[in-house]
Chains A and B, each alone.
Chain A
Protein backbone atom coordinates (compact mmCIF):
# COMPACT_ATOMS: atom_id res chain seq x y z
CA UNK A 1 0.00 0.00 0.00
CA UNK A 2 1.40 3.35 -1.02
CA UNK A 3 2.06 6.09 1.52
CA UNK A 4 -0.53 8.87 1.46
CA UNK A 5 0.66 11.76 -0.71
CA UNK A 6 0.43 14.29 2.14
CA UNK A 7 2.50 11.96 4.35
CA UNK A 8 5.19 11.76 1.66
CA UNK A 9 5.92 15.47 2.20
CA UNK A 10 6.48 14.77 5.90
CA UNK A 11 8.72 11.77 5.27
CA UNK A 12 10.79 13.10 2.39
CA UNK A 13 12.59 16.28 1.41
CA UNK A 14 11.83 15.72 -2.24
CA UNK A 15 8.54 14.26 -3.46
CA UNK A 16 7.99 12.96 -6.99
CA UNK A 17 4.71 12.50 -8.84
CA UNK A 18 4.03 11.44 -12.41
CA UNK A 19 1.13 12.15 -14.70
CA UNK A 20 -1.23 9.52 -16.05
CA UNK A 21 -3.42 10.46 -19.00
CA UNK A 22 -6.61 8.39 -19.26
CA UNK A 23 -7.08 7.01 -22.77
CA UNK A 24 -9.68 8.06 -25.29
CA UNK A 25 -11.69 4.89 -25.60
CA UNK A 26 -11.95 1.76 -23.53
CA UNK A 27 -8.62 0.13 -24.31
CA UNK A 28 -6.85 0.60 -21.01
CA UNK A 29 -4.09 -1.99 -21.34
CA UNK A 30 -1.22 0.42 -21.95
CA UNK A 31 -2.34 2.78 -19.18
CA UNK A 32 -2.58 -0.08 -16.68
CA UNK A 33 0.96 -1.13 -17.66
CA UNK A 34 2.12 2.41 -16.91
CA UNK A 35 0.32 2.42 -13.56
CA UNK A 36 1.99 -0.86 -12.59
CA UNK A 37 5.35 0.38 -13.82
CA UNK A 38 5.22 3.67 -11.90
CA UNK A 39 3.13 3.14 -8.76
CA UNK A 40 6.06 2.14 -6.54
CA UNK A 41 8.60 4.47 -8.12
CA UNK A 42 6.79 7.74 -7.44
CA UNK A 43 4.87 9.24 -4.49
CA UNK A 44 1.69 9.90 -6.42
CA UNK A 45 0.07 9.41 -9.81
CA UNK A 46 -1.68 12.52 -10.98
CA UNK A 47 -4.59 11.77 -13.32
CA UNK A 48 -5.67 14.37 -15.86
CA UNK A 49 -9.29 15.44 -16.34
CA UNK A 50 -10.28 15.45 -20.03
CA UNK A 51 -6.82 16.83 -20.70
CA UNK A 52 -6.58 19.54 -23.37
CA UNK A 53 -10.40 19.47 -23.51
CA UNK A 54 -10.27 16.10 -25.27
CA UNK A 55 -13.01 13.69 -24.10
CA UNK A 56 -11.55 10.62 -22.36
CA UNK A 57 -12.14 8.19 -19.48
CA UNK A 58 -12.71 10.18 -16.30
CA UNK A 59 -9.97 11.06 -13.86
CA UNK A 60 -11.98 9.54 -11.00
CA UNK A 61 -12.33 6.12 -12.66
CA UNK A 62 -8.58 5.97 -13.29
CA UNK A 63 -7.82 7.17 -9.74
CA UNK A 64 -9.84 4.26 -8.40
CA UNK A 65 -7.97 1.88 -10.72
CA UNK A 66 -4.68 3.21 -9.34
CA UNK A 67 -5.87 2.45 -5.80
CA UNK A 68 -6.84 -1.07 -6.91
CA UNK A 69 -3.29 -1.48 -8.22
CA UNK A 70 -1.78 -0.25 -4.96
CA UNK A 71 -0.80 3.27 -6.05
CA UNK A 72 -1.56 6.73 -4.62
CA UNK A 73 -3.76 8.76 -6.97
CA UNK A 74 -4.19 12.52 -7.24
CA UNK A 75 -7.48 13.52 -8.87
CA UNK A 76 -7.25 16.42 -11.27
CA UNK A 77 -10.51 18.35 -11.37
CA UNK A 78 -11.24 21.16 -13.80
CA UNK A 79 -14.09 23.66 -13.81
CA UNK A 80 -14.66 23.38 -17.55
CA UNK A 81 -17.10 20.48 -17.71
CA UNK A 82 -19.02 20.57 -14.43
CA UNK A 83 -21.07 23.07 -12.48
CA UNK A 84 -20.76 23.39 -8.69
CA UNK A 85 -23.14 20.49 -8.04
CA UNK A 86 -21.22 18.11 -10.30
CA UNK A 87 -17.84 19.26 -8.93
CA UNK A 88 -18.87 18.64 -5.33
CA UNK A 89 -20.50 15.35 -6.22
CA UNK A 90 -17.25 14.29 -7.91
CA UNK A 91 -15.24 15.31 -4.82
CA UNK A 92 -17.49 13.37 -2.44
CA UNK A 93 -17.41 10.39 -4.78
CA UNK A 94 -13.61 10.57 -4.93
CA UNK A 95 -13.41 10.58 -1.13
CA UNK A 96 -15.69 7.57 -0.63
CA UNK A 97 -13.75 5.67 -3.30
CA UNK A 98 -10.54 6.26 -1.35
CA UNK A 99 -9.04 9.14 -3.32
CA UNK A 100 -7.51 11.59 -0.86
CA UNK A 101 -5.81 14.17 -3.07
CA UNK A 102 -7.21 16.66 -5.54
CA UNK A 103 -5.54 19.13 -7.88
CA UNK A 104 -7.92 22.02 -8.61
CA UNK A 105 -7.69 23.65 -12.02
CA UNK A 106 -9.76 26.05 -14.08
CA UNK A 107 -9.15 23.86 -17.15
CA UNK A 108 -8.29 24.53 -20.76
CA UNK A 109 -10.96 26.22 -22.81
CA UNK A 110 -13.37 24.00 -24.78
CA UNK A 111 -12.19 25.23 -28.18
CA UNK A 112 -8.71 23.64 -27.94
CA UNK A 113 -10.16 20.13 -27.71
CA UNK A 114 -12.12 17.64 -29.79
CA UNK A 115 -15.64 18.88 -28.97
CA UNK A 116 -15.20 22.59 -29.74
CA UNK A 117 -18.97 23.10 -30.01
CA UNK A 118 -19.69 21.93 -26.46
CA UNK A 119 -21.00 24.31 -23.81
CA UNK A 120 -18.16 25.55 -21.57
CA UNK A 121 -19.26 25.49 -17.93
CA UNK A 122 -16.79 27.44 -15.74
CA UNK A 123 -19.43 27.90 -13.02
CA UNK A 124 -16.55 28.16 -10.51
CA UNK A 125 -12.95 29.14 -11.08
CA UNK A 126 -9.94 27.38 -9.55
CA UNK A 127 -9.88 29.61 -6.45
CA UNK A 128 -13.57 29.00 -5.79
CA UNK A 129 -13.07 25.25 -6.37
CA UNK A 130 -10.35 25.25 -3.70
CA UNK A 131 -12.70 27.10 -1.33
CA UNK A 132 -15.32 24.46 -2.08
CA UNK A 133 -12.90 21.62 -1.19
CA UNK A 134 -12.21 23.48 2.05
CA UNK A 135 -15.95 23.60 2.81
CA UNK A 136 -16.39 19.88 2.08
CA UNK A 137 -13.45 19.20 4.39
CA UNK A 138 -15.37 21.05 7.10
CA UNK A 139 -18.45 18.91 6.52
CA UNK A 140 -20.42 21.57 4.67
CA UNK A 141 -21.27 21.98 1.03
CA UNK A 142 -20.53 25.06 -1.05
CA UNK A 143 -23.97 26.52 -0.30
CA UNK A 144 -23.30 26.14 3.43
CA UNK A 145 -25.55 23.11 4.02
CA UNK A 146 -24.46 20.60 6.64
CA UNK A 147 -23.60 17.18 5.20
CA UNK A 148 -23.67 13.75 6.74
CA UNK A 149 -19.94 13.21 6.71
CA UNK A 150 -17.34 15.40 5.09
CA UNK A 151 -14.05 14.85 3.33
CA UNK A 152 -10.43 15.33 4.36
CA UNK A 153 -9.02 16.00 0.92
CA UNK A 154 -5.45 17.20 0.42
CA UNK A 155 -5.95 20.03 -2.06
CA UNK A 156 -3.49 21.43 -4.54
CA UNK A 157 -3.39 23.99 -7.30
CA UNK A 158 -1.23 25.07 -10.21
CA UNK A 159 0.84 28.14 -11.01
CA UNK A 160 2.74 29.26 -14.10
CA UNK A 161 6.18 30.59 -13.08
CA UNK A 162 6.95 31.79 -16.63
CA UNK A 163 3.69 33.72 -17.02
CA UNK A 164 4.16 37.18 -18.46
CA UNK A 165 3.25 39.42 -16.73
CA UNK A 166 3.93 37.44 -13.54
CA UNK A 167 2.30 39.84 -11.03
CA UNK A 168 -1.37 38.97 -11.74
CA UNK A 169 -0.36 35.28 -11.67
CA UNK A 170 1.19 35.78 -8.22
CA UNK A 171 -1.91 37.60 -6.94
CA UNK A 172 -4.02 34.60 -7.96
CA UNK A 173 -1.44 32.25 -6.45
CA UNK A 174 -1.86 34.06 -3.10
CA UNK A 175 -5.63 33.60 -3.36
CA UNK A 176 -5.15 29.89 -4.03
CA UNK A 177 -3.05 29.55 -0.88
CA UNK A 178 -5.59 31.51 1.14
CA UNK A 179 -8.32 29.24 -0.28
CA UNK A 180 -6.58 26.18 1.14
CA UNK A 181 -4.09 24.89 -1.44
CA UNK A 182 -1.50 22.80 0.41
CA UNK A 183 0.56 21.76 -2.58
CA UNK A 184 1.35 23.57 -5.78
CA UNK A 185 2.29 22.03 -9.06
CA UNK A 186 3.86 24.35 -11.62
CA UNK A 187 3.52 24.54 -15.37
CA UNK A 188 6.57 23.03 -17.09
CA UNK A 189 9.78 24.85 -16.24
CA UNK A 190 13.09 24.64 -18.13
CA UNK A 191 15.01 27.72 -16.99
CA UNK A 192 16.10 26.87 -13.47
CA UNK A 193 17.54 30.33 -12.73
CA UNK A 194 14.19 31.87 -13.59
CA UNK A 195 12.47 29.26 -11.48
CA UNK A 196 14.72 30.06 -8.53
CA UNK A 197 13.69 33.71 -8.78
CA UNK A 198 10.05 32.61 -8.87
CA UNK A 199 10.61 30.41 -5.80
CA UNK A 200 12.08 33.36 -3.91
CA UNK A 201 8.69 35.06 -4.28
CA UNK A 202 6.49 31.99 -3.94
CA UNK A 203 7.97 30.03 -1.06
CA UNK A 204 5.69 29.97 2.01
CA UNK A 205 5.43 28.09 5.25
CA UNK A 206 2.95 25.23 4.98
CA UNK A 207 2.79 24.92 1.23
CA UNK A 208 4.72 22.43 -0.88
CA UNK A 209 5.81 23.48 -4.34
CA UNK A 210 6.51 20.90 -7.03
CA UNK A 211 8.20 21.91 -10.27
CA UNK A 212 6.55 20.70 -13.46
CA UNK A 213 8.87 18.64 -15.65
CA UNK A 214 7.63 17.96 -19.15
CA UNK A 215 9.78 15.45 -21.05
CA UNK A 216 11.15 16.95 -24.26
CA UNK A 217 11.32 14.42 -27.07
CA UNK A 218 12.73 16.60 -29.86
CA UNK A 219 13.90 20.11 -30.70
CA UNK A 220 10.72 20.42 -32.76
CA UNK A 221 8.59 19.80 -29.67
CA UNK A 222 10.55 22.43 -27.72
CA UNK A 223 10.12 25.00 -30.50
CA UNK A 224 6.45 24.13 -30.85
CA UNK A 225 5.85 24.68 -27.13
CA UNK A 226 7.78 27.96 -27.15
CA UNK A 227 5.55 29.19 -29.95
CA UNK A 228 2.20 27.70 -28.96
CA UNK A 229 1.96 26.85 -25.28
CA UNK A 230 1.38 29.86 -23.02
CA UNK A 231 3.69 29.97 -20.01
CA UNK A 232 6.29 27.52 -21.35
CA UNK A 233 9.76 28.70 -22.25
CA UNK A 234 12.50 26.29 -23.35
CA UNK A 235 15.87 28.12 -23.42
CA UNK A 236 17.99 28.00 -26.59
CA UNK A 237 20.74 25.83 -25.06
CA UNK A 238 18.25 23.02 -24.36
CA UNK A 239 16.80 23.29 -27.88
CA UNK A 240 20.38 23.04 -29.21
CA UNK A 241 21.14 20.05 -26.99
CA UNK A 242 18.12 18.25 -28.48
CA UNK A 243 18.84 19.19 -32.08
CA UNK A 244 22.51 18.19 -31.77
CA UNK A 245 21.57 14.73 -30.53
CA UNK A 246 21.82 12.19 -33.37
CA UNK A 247 18.62 10.79 -34.83
CA UNK A 248 17.32 7.98 -32.65
CA UNK A 249 19.02 9.49 -29.59
CA UNK A 250 16.76 12.52 -29.14
CA UNK A 251 14.46 10.88 -26.63
CA UNK A 252 17.58 9.91 -24.68
CA UNK A 253 18.66 13.55 -24.74
CA UNK A 254 15.24 14.57 -23.43
CA UNK A 255 15.47 12.00 -20.64
CA UNK A 256 18.97 13.26 -19.79
CA UNK A 257 17.74 16.89 -19.65
CA UNK A 258 14.76 16.01 -17.43
CA UNK A 259 16.94 13.89 -15.14
CA UNK A 260 19.56 16.62 -14.87
CA UNK A 261 16.94 19.24 -13.99
CA UNK A 262 15.37 17.04 -11.32
CA UNK A 263 18.79 16.34 -9.81
CA UNK A 264 19.66 20.04 -9.68
CA UNK A 265 16.28 20.97 -8.15
CA UNK A 266 16.73 18.27 -5.50
CA UNK A 267 20.41 18.83 -4.72
CA UNK A 268 20.07 22.61 -4.49
CA UNK A 269 16.79 22.27 -2.56
CA UNK A 270 15.10 24.68 -4.96
CA UNK A 271 11.61 23.26 -4.34
CA UNK A 272 9.82 20.43 -2.52
CA UNK A 273 9.56 18.02 -5.42
CA UNK A 274 8.74 17.54 -9.06
CA UNK A 275 5.75 16.48 -11.10
CA UNK A 276 6.84 14.57 -14.21
CA UNK A 277 4.69 14.85 -17.32
CA UNK A 278 6.02 12.42 -19.93
CA UNK A 279 3.05 13.03 -22.21
CA UNK A 280 2.55 9.80 -24.19
CA UNK A 281 5.94 8.43 -23.05
CA UNK A 282 5.04 7.36 -19.50
CA UNK A 283 7.08 4.18 -20.03
CA UNK A 284 10.34 6.14 -19.80
CA UNK A 285 9.61 7.80 -16.43
CA UNK A 286 11.80 5.20 -14.64
CA UNK A 287 14.65 6.17 -17.02
CA UNK A 288 14.15 9.85 -16.08
CA UNK A 289 14.26 8.93 -12.39
CA UNK A 290 17.45 6.93 -13.01
CA UNK A 291 19.00 9.87 -14.86
CA UNK A 292 18.11 12.07 -11.86
CA UNK A 293 19.99 9.90 -9.34
Chain B
Protein backbone atom coordinates (compact mmCIF):
# COMPACT_ATOMS: atom_id res chain seq x y z
CA UNK B 1 0.00 0.00 0.00
CA UNK B 2 0.89 3.70 -0.18
CA UNK B 3 2.43 4.90 3.09
CA UNK B 4 2.22 8.56 4.04
CA UNK B 5 2.65 10.86 7.01
CA UNK B 6 0.83 14.02 7.90
CA UNK B 7 2.47 17.41 7.51
CA UNK B 8 2.90 19.46 10.67
CA UNK B 9 0.01 21.60 11.85
CA UNK B 10 2.22 24.68 11.31
CA UNK B 11 2.72 23.77 7.64
CA UNK B 12 -0.98 23.17 7.11
CA UNK B 13 -1.90 26.40 8.93
CA UNK B 14 0.53 28.33 6.71
CA UNK B 15 -1.24 26.98 3.59
CA UNK B 16 -4.71 28.09 4.72
CA UNK B 17 -3.82 31.54 6.00
CA UNK B 18 -6.91 33.77 5.78
CA UNK B 19 -9.34 31.03 4.73
CA UNK B 20 -12.50 30.58 6.78
CA UNK B 21 -14.52 27.69 5.41
CA UNK B 22 -12.52 24.51 5.29
CA UNK B 23 -13.41 20.97 4.24
CA UNK B 24 -11.02 18.28 5.43
CA UNK B 25 -11.39 15.37 2.99
CA UNK B 26 -10.01 12.01 4.10
CA UNK B 27 -9.28 8.86 2.17
CA UNK B 28 -10.42 5.51 3.54
CA UNK B 29 -7.91 3.24 1.83
CA UNK B 30 -4.06 3.14 2.15
CA UNK B 31 -3.63 6.28 4.22
CA UNK B 32 -6.36 5.13 6.62
CA UNK B 33 -4.45 1.89 7.23
CA UNK B 34 -1.18 3.73 7.85
CA UNK B 35 -2.97 6.13 10.19
CA UNK B 36 -2.19 9.27 8.23
CA UNK B 37 -5.38 10.32 6.45
CA UNK B 38 -8.39 8.13 7.28
CA UNK B 39 -11.53 9.06 9.17
CA UNK B 40 -9.81 9.26 12.58
CA UNK B 41 -6.96 11.41 11.29
CA UNK B 42 -9.46 13.71 9.53
CA UNK B 43 -11.27 14.11 12.84
CA UNK B 44 -8.01 14.93 14.62
CA UNK B 45 -6.84 17.46 12.01
CA UNK B 46 -10.26 19.16 11.92
CA UNK B 47 -10.25 19.43 15.72
CA UNK B 48 -6.73 20.89 15.71
CA UNK B 49 -7.70 23.45 13.07
CA UNK B 50 -10.80 24.47 15.05
CA UNK B 51 -8.84 24.79 18.30
CA UNK B 52 -6.10 26.84 16.64
CA UNK B 53 -8.67 29.25 15.20
CA UNK B 54 -10.40 29.56 18.53
CA UNK B 55 -7.11 30.23 20.31
CA UNK B 56 -6.17 32.87 17.75
CA UNK B 57 -9.65 34.42 17.84
CA UNK B 58 -10.29 33.70 14.15
CA UNK B 59 -13.55 32.82 12.41
CA UNK B 60 -13.27 29.34 10.98
CA UNK B 61 -15.68 26.58 9.99
CA UNK B 62 -14.10 23.16 9.59
CA UNK B 63 -16.17 20.23 8.28
CA UNK B 64 -15.09 16.64 7.72
CA UNK B 65 -15.73 13.95 5.15
CA UNK B 66 -13.88 10.72 4.43
CA UNK B 67 -14.25 9.20 0.97
CA UNK B 68 -13.75 5.49 0.34
CA UNK B 69 -10.92 6.34 -2.05
CA UNK B 70 -9.74 9.56 -3.64
CA UNK B 71 -8.13 7.72 -6.55
CA UNK B 72 -11.53 6.67 -7.99
CA UNK B 73 -13.85 9.15 -9.72
CA UNK B 74 -17.05 7.59 -8.40
CA UNK B 75 -16.14 8.44 -4.80
CA UNK B 76 -15.01 11.97 -5.62
CA UNK B 77 -18.50 12.78 -6.93
CA UNK B 78 -19.92 12.45 -3.43
CA UNK B 79 -18.84 15.96 -2.40
CA UNK B 80 -20.07 17.66 -5.60
CA UNK B 81 -23.28 18.84 -3.96
CA UNK B 82 -21.65 20.91 -1.24
CA UNK B 83 -18.01 21.63 -2.21
CA UNK B 84 -18.99 25.18 -3.29
CA UNK B 85 -19.63 26.04 0.35
CA UNK B 86 -15.90 25.91 1.14
CA UNK B 87 -12.96 28.23 0.52
CA UNK B 88 -10.57 25.33 0.50
CA UNK B 89 -10.43 21.53 0.63
CA UNK B 90 -7.58 19.97 2.60
CA UNK B 91 -7.07 16.45 1.31
CA UNK B 92 -5.52 13.83 3.53
CA UNK B 93 -5.05 11.44 0.62
CA UNK B 94 -1.72 10.47 -0.93
CA UNK B 95 -0.33 12.70 -3.69
CA UNK B 96 -2.36 10.81 -6.29
CA UNK B 97 -5.61 11.35 -4.41
CA UNK B 98 -4.94 15.06 -3.88
CA UNK B 99 -4.31 15.55 -7.59
CA UNK B 100 -7.36 13.56 -8.64
CA UNK B 101 -9.56 15.58 -6.30
CA UNK B 102 -8.02 18.84 -7.57
CA UNK B 103 -8.60 17.74 -11.16
CA UNK B 104 -12.21 16.77 -10.51
CA UNK B 105 -12.91 20.14 -8.84
CA UNK B 106 -10.52 22.33 -10.79
CA UNK B 107 -12.27 25.54 -9.77
CA UNK B 108 -11.50 24.84 -6.12
CA UNK B 109 -8.35 25.13 -4.10
CA UNK B 110 -7.32 21.63 -2.99
CA UNK B 111 -4.33 21.40 -0.64
CA UNK B 112 -2.27 18.42 0.56
CA UNK B 113 -2.16 17.56 4.25
CA UNK B 114 0.21 14.60 3.85
CA UNK B 115 3.67 13.81 2.56
CA UNK B 116 3.51 10.62 0.52
CA UNK B 117 6.39 8.34 1.50
CA UNK B 118 6.48 5.01 -0.34
CA UNK B 119 4.88 1.73 -1.39
CA UNK B 120 5.40 -0.53 1.59
CA UNK B 121 4.25 -3.02 4.15
CA UNK B 122 3.32 -2.97 7.83
CA UNK B 123 6.25 -4.44 9.76
CA UNK B 124 4.46 -4.09 13.10
CA UNK B 125 2.10 -1.75 14.89
CA UNK B 126 2.79 1.78 13.61
CA UNK B 127 5.82 0.71 11.60
CA UNK B 128 6.04 0.50 7.81
CA UNK B 129 8.89 -0.08 5.42
CA UNK B 130 9.40 0.50 1.72
CA UNK B 131 9.39 -2.64 -0.43
CA UNK B 132 8.76 -1.58 -4.02
CA UNK B 133 9.65 1.43 -6.14
CA UNK B 134 7.43 0.50 -9.08
CA UNK B 135 10.25 -0.01 -11.59
CA UNK B 136 7.82 -1.61 -14.08
CA UNK B 137 10.04 -4.65 -14.68
CA UNK B 138 10.02 -6.94 -11.66
CA UNK B 139 13.12 -9.07 -11.06
CA UNK B 140 12.10 -10.57 -7.71
CA UNK B 141 12.11 -14.00 -9.37
CA UNK B 142 15.90 -13.76 -9.59
CA UNK B 143 16.69 -12.12 -6.27
CA UNK B 144 15.03 -14.43 -3.78
CA UNK B 145 11.99 -12.18 -3.40
CA UNK B 146 14.07 -9.23 -2.12
CA UNK B 147 14.17 -6.11 -4.30
CA UNK B 148 17.65 -4.65 -4.85
CA UNK B 149 16.12 -1.66 -6.64
CA UNK B 150 14.38 -0.71 -3.40
CA UNK B 151 16.27 -2.27 -0.51
CA UNK B 152 19.75 -1.32 -1.82
CA UNK B 153 20.34 2.45 -1.50
CA UNK B 154 22.48 2.35 -4.67
CA UNK B 155 20.09 0.00 -6.49
CA UNK B 156 23.03 -2.24 -7.32
CA UNK B 157 21.83 -5.17 -9.39
CA UNK B 158 24.90 -7.38 -9.28
CA UNK B 159 25.85 -7.78 -5.65
CA UNK B 160 26.99 -5.87 -2.58
CA UNK B 161 29.10 -2.71 -2.79
CA UNK B 162 32.12 -2.05 -0.62
CA UNK B 163 29.91 -0.37 1.94
CA UNK B 164 28.34 -3.63 3.08
CA UNK B 165 29.03 -3.82 6.78
CA UNK B 166 28.43 -7.07 8.68
CA UNK B 167 25.05 -7.41 7.00
CA UNK B 168 24.18 -3.74 7.38
CA UNK B 169 24.32 -0.78 4.98
CA UNK B 170 26.96 1.97 4.97
CA UNK B 171 24.24 4.55 4.42
CA UNK B 172 22.45 3.74 7.68
CA UNK B 173 23.59 0.96 9.98
CA UNK B 174 20.02 0.34 11.14
CA UNK B 175 19.24 -0.87 7.61
CA UNK B 176 20.10 -4.30 6.25
CA UNK B 177 22.42 -4.77 3.28
CA UNK B 178 20.06 -5.90 0.52
CA UNK B 179 22.69 -8.14 -1.04
CA UNK B 180 23.51 -9.89 2.22
CA UNK B 181 19.78 -10.60 2.55
CA UNK B 182 19.55 -11.77 -1.05
CA UNK B 183 22.62 -13.97 -0.69
CA UNK B 184 21.30 -15.61 2.48
CA UNK B 185 17.81 -16.16 0.97
CA UNK B 186 19.17 -17.65 -2.27
CA UNK B 187 21.56 -19.83 -0.28
CA UNK B 188 18.62 -21.09 1.80
CA UNK B 189 16.65 -21.78 -1.38
CA UNK B 190 19.63 -23.50 -3.02
CA UNK B 191 19.52 -20.93 -5.85
CA UNK B 192 22.84 -19.11 -5.56
CA UNK B 193 23.28 -19.61 -9.30
CA UNK B 194 20.76 -16.76 -9.74
CA UNK B 195 23.25 -14.42 -8.11
CA UNK B 196 26.07 -15.53 -10.39
CA UNK B 197 24.16 -14.39 -13.45
CA UNK B 198 25.06 -10.82 -14.45
CA UNK B 199 22.08 -8.50 -14.40
CA UNK B 200 21.88 -6.06 -17.31
CA UNK B 201 21.35 -2.33 -16.74
CA UNK B 202 17.78 -1.42 -15.85
CA UNK B 203 15.52 -0.24 -18.67
CA UNK B 204 14.40 3.17 -17.46
CA UNK B 205 12.37 3.81 -20.62
CA UNK B 206 9.52 1.81 -19.12
CA UNK B 207 9.53 4.22 -16.18
CA UNK B 208 9.06 7.37 -18.25
CA UNK B 209 6.72 9.67 -16.35
CA UNK B 210 3.80 10.07 -16.20
CA UNK B 211 3.06 6.40 -16.65
CA UNK B 212 -0.27 5.09 -17.98
CA UNK B 213 -1.76 1.67 -17.78
CA UNK B 214 -4.83 0.22 -19.49
CA UNK B 215 -5.95 -3.25 -18.50
CA UNK B 216 -5.70 -5.71 -21.36
CA UNK B 217 -9.39 -6.66 -21.13
CA UNK B 218 -10.42 -3.05 -21.68
CA UNK B 219 -8.02 -2.54 -24.57
CA UNK B 220 -9.44 -5.65 -26.25
CA UNK B 221 -13.03 -4.57 -25.60
CA UNK B 222 -12.30 -1.18 -27.15
CA UNK B 223 -10.75 -2.80 -30.21
CA UNK B 224 -13.79 -5.07 -30.59
CA UNK B 225 -16.10 -2.06 -30.58
CA UNK B 226 -14.04 -0.38 -33.25
Tell yes or no: B82 within 8 A of A by CB. no
**B154 close to A230 (CB less than 8 A):** no
**A172 close to B163 (CB less than 8 A):** no
A231 to B165, CA, bound (A): 7
Tell yes or no: A169 within 8 A of B by CB. yes
**B164 close to A230 (CB less than 8 A):** yes
Q: For A109, list chain B residues within 8 Å (CB).
A: 153-154, 163, 170-171
Q: Chain B interface mostly helix, strand, loop or mixed?
A: loop
**A106 close to B201 (CB less than 8 A):** no
Q: Which candidate, B42-50, B192-200, B216-224, is the interface stretch facing chain A? A: B192-200
Tell yes or no: B99 within 8 A of A by CB. no
Tell yes or no: B1 within 8 A of A by CB. no
State the Cβ distance, B137 to closest chain A Cβ, in Å: 15
**A142 close to B201 (CB less than 8 A):** yes
Q: For B196, list chain A residues within 8 Å (CB).
A: 171, 174-175
Tell yes or no: B188 within 8 A of A by CB. no
State the Cβ distance, B180 to closest chain A Cβ, in Å: 6
Q: For B171, list chain A residues within 8 Å (CB).
A: 109, 111-112
Q: For A158, list chain B residues within 8 Å (CB).
A: 162
**B204 close to A175 (CB less than 8 A):** no
Contact for B159 among A79, A111, A169, CB less than 8 A: A169
Q: For A105, list chain B residues within 8 Å (CB).
A: 162
A128 to B131, CA, bound (A): 24
Q: For B179, list chain A residues within 8 Å (CB).
A: 168, 172
Closest to A169 in B: B160
Tell yes or no: B115 within 8 A of A by CB. no
A164 to B183, CA, bound (A): 12
Closest to A160 in B: B162
**B162 close to A123 (CB less than 8 A):** no
**A122 close to B155 (CB less than 8 A):** yes
Q: For B167, list chain A residues within 8 Å (CB).
A: 164-165
Q: What is the 8 Å Cβ interface bit string for chain B, positions 140-183, against chain A (1 contact, 0 not)? A: 00000000000001111111111111110011000000011011
Interface residues of B in 10-27 (CB under 8 A from A): none
**A231 close to B156 (CB less than 8 A):** no
Q: For B195, list chain A residues within 8 Å (CB).
A: 168, 171
A231 to B155, CA, bound (A): 20
Tell yes or no: A131 within 8 A of B by CB. yes
**B183 close to A163 (CB less than 8 A):** no
Knowing A84-B201, A109-B171, A175-B196 are in contact, say whether A165-B183 is a contact too (CB < 8 A): yes
Contact for A123 among B159, B164, B166, B204, CB less than 8 A: B204
Tell yes or no: A265 within 8 A of B by CB. no
Q: For A80, list chain B residues within 8 Å (CB).
A: 154
Closest to B161 in A: A106
Q: What is the 8 Å Cβ interface bit string for chain A, positions 96-111, against chain B (1 contact, 0 not)? A: 0000000001111101
Closest to B183 in A: A168
Q: For A231, list chain B residues within 8 Å (CB).
A: 162-165
Q: What is the 8 Å Cβ interface bit string for chain A, positions 118-150, against chain B (1 contact, 0 not)? A: 001011111110010000000000100000000
10 closest residue pairs by CB, A with B: A172-B159, A230-B165, A127-B158, A168-B183, A125-B156, A106-B161, A122-B154, A109-B171, A160-B162, A128-B201
| 22 contacting pairs across A/B (C-beta < 8 A) | A79-B154, A106-B156, A109-B170, A111-B171, A112-B170, A120-B154, A122-B156, A125-B155, A125-B157, A125-B161, A126-B158, A127-B199, A142-B201, A160-B162, A163-B160, A163-B162, A163-B164, A168-B179, A168-B180, A172-B160, A172-B179, A175-B158
Identify 18 new A-B residue pairs, CB closer than 8 A, beyond the known A168-B180, A168-B183, A175-B196.
A106-B162, A107-B154, A111-B171, A122-B154, A122-B155, A123-B201, A123-B202, A125-B155, A125-B156, A128-B199, A142-B201, A163-B160, A163-B162, A163-B164, A164-B167, A165-B183, A171-B183, A231-B164
A residues in contact (CB < 8 Å) with B:
79-80, 84, 105-109, 111-112, 120, 122-128, 131, 142, 158, 160, 163-165, 167-169, 171-172, 174-175, 178-179, 187, 230-231
